[in-house]
Structures are given as structure tokens and as C-alpha cells.
């Protein structure tokens, strides 16, 4: 890798909730070592309003967050990617574009809070749960001594993070 921040792309189908939350989280907790991006295979074109409200309630910046196609990251001039994480099962099963630089990849599936039907409280709880799971995984990831791992060992660690459930005490 290099002296620049690690570029991390979070992918989901609609790029309106989970991947947006992950982008904001890594930009906040990455402390300049990581630069987060998000995209979707079939972007909705808008960020889910609860995702924006939740990020604001957590005192996290929301400027610049937008729903966009993963094609933006596969063209000349796009940021060179170091890591690509799918956060939904649909995106994990799709044929991804070619990512210049051969980034490390892993699947970090999280249930889709935007798909929850029911009361506003149930919807908010789903977004909070997704936020907590992503926050936990991203904190584990950003604390790894990345330069001390070979590619194989790092891939094992990234896959293990994707299997990590919510923090203790959260269902």
C-alpha cells in the first residue's frame, strides 16, 4: 500500500442505507488513515432519509453523501481502491466491475434496514442495528495493523470481520 489513506469502497445494491452508513462511519473512525466511499449496482438515486437522520443524531457529517453507481469507481481517474466490501447479499452475488489495483475484497452482509416494514420505531431500530453492526466491524478493521499482514492472512481477517455479529448484548 502507500503513504496515502487506504481507500475503502462499500457496495450495496441500492446505495441508500447500509453502504452510506459504512462510508460515513469509516470516514469518521478512520481518523485520516482511511477514506470511505459507497456505491450500488442499481443505485436508488437518493439516500434513505432515516440514514441521514441517524447519522446527524450521531453527530456525524452527512455532506457529500449520495447514492451512486459502482461504475464511477471502475473508470480511469477514479480513486485507486485498496478494499472493497459488500454489505448486502445481492451485491455480493453480482458480477462486479473490474477494480483497478486489485483491492482486497470481503463480504460483510448486514440485513437491509430500508426493507423493514412496520412502525417508524421498527424502522429506526433496524437502522440502529445496521449502524451498530457496521460500526463494530469498521472499528475492528481500522484497528488492524494492516502492514503487518500478508495478503492471505489479511484476507482471512477481513472475512472473519464479515462474520462478526453485533457487539455483545445487542440482538
Residue positions annotated with a catalytic role:
12, 88, 96
**φ, ψ dihedrals at 73, nearest 5°:** -100, 5
Strand (E) positions, 101-158?
104-107
Distance, CA of 91 to CA of 105 (rounded, Å): 12
Under 8 Å CB-to-CB from 56, ≥6 apart: which residues?
62
SS3 content of the chain, % helix, strand, coil (to 5): 45, 15, 45
Distance, CA of 39 to CA of 106 (rounded, Å): 15
Amino acid at each position: 500500500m502507500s503513504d496515502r489513506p487506504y481507500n475503502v469502497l462499500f457496495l450495496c445494491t441500492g446505495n441508500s442505507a447500509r453502504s452510506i452508513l459504512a462510508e460515513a462511519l469509516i470516514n469518521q473512525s478512520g481518523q485520516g488513515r482511511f477514506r470511505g466511499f459507497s456505491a450500488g449496482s442499481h443505485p436508488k438515486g437518493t439516500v434513505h432519509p432515516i440514514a441521514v437522520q441517524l447519522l446527524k443524531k450521531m453527530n456525524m457529517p452527512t455532506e457529500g453523501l449520495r447514492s451512486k453507481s459502482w461504475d464511477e469507481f471502475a473508470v480511469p481517474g477514479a480513486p485507486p481502491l485498496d478494499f472493497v466490501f459488500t454489505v448486502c447479499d445481492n451485491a455480493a452475488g453480482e458480477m462486479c466491475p473490474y477494480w483497478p489495483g486489485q483491492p482486497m475484497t470481503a463480504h460483510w452482509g448486514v440485513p437491509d434496514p430500508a426493507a423493514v416494514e412496520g412502525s417508524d420505531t421498527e424502522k429506526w431500530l433496524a437502522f440502529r442495528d445496521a449502524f451498530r453492526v457496521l460500526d463494530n466491524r469498521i472499528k475492528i478493521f481500522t484497528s488492524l495493523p494492516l502492514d503487518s499482514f500478508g495478503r492471505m492472512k489479511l484476507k482471512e481477517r477481513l472475512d472473519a470481520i464479515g462474520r462478526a455479529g453485533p457487539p455483545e448484548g445487542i440482538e
